Amino acid sequence: MGTWIRSNWWLVLAVIAGGLLVFIGVALPFEDRTAGAIAGGGAHAIAGVVVLAGLVVRRRRPRRGDLMIAAGVLPLLFWFWTIVLPALAVAVMVPALLDVDHAPDRPTGAVPGSAGS
């Protein structure tokens, strides 16, 4: 378990980032009821779902999942005046992109319905 924590600590931060993005995406249109707030909220919510989906996809296709996570946290970089959210984005993006280099390009494990299962 210690080895898993040392190599995958950033996944916990990715869950937090994805949840924050979904929360921001839902809350933003309630704060300001303009077309821009609704569009921005939708973009944040979609990005949060991409991060959370990347965590699920990562189990079968690690490279694709890591790229989804890294791309999904990009909207947090635009909250630069908060300091914490861009730091969270960088803390997720850097290990995710470093992990892409080591992740296999092919699916891991047997896929239900394939010839191998």
Q: How far apart are CA 23 and CA 101, in angstroms?
A: 31
Read off the pLDDT band of 117 (50, 70, 90). Answer: very low
Sign of CA dihedral 107, 64, 5, 47: negative
- Rg of the chain taking only CA atoms, in angstroms: 16
Report yes or no on whether pTM surpasses 0.85: no
SS (H, E, C) 57-79: HCCCCHHHHHHHHHHHCHHHHHC
| Average pLDDT rounded to a whole number, residues 16-24 | 96
Residue spans of the domains in the chain: they are: 2-102
pLDDT tens for 23-44 read 999 999 999 889 999 999 999 9
Go through the chain and tell me how many residues it has: 117
35-62 average pLDDT score: 94
- Pair 72, 55: CB distance under 8 Å: no
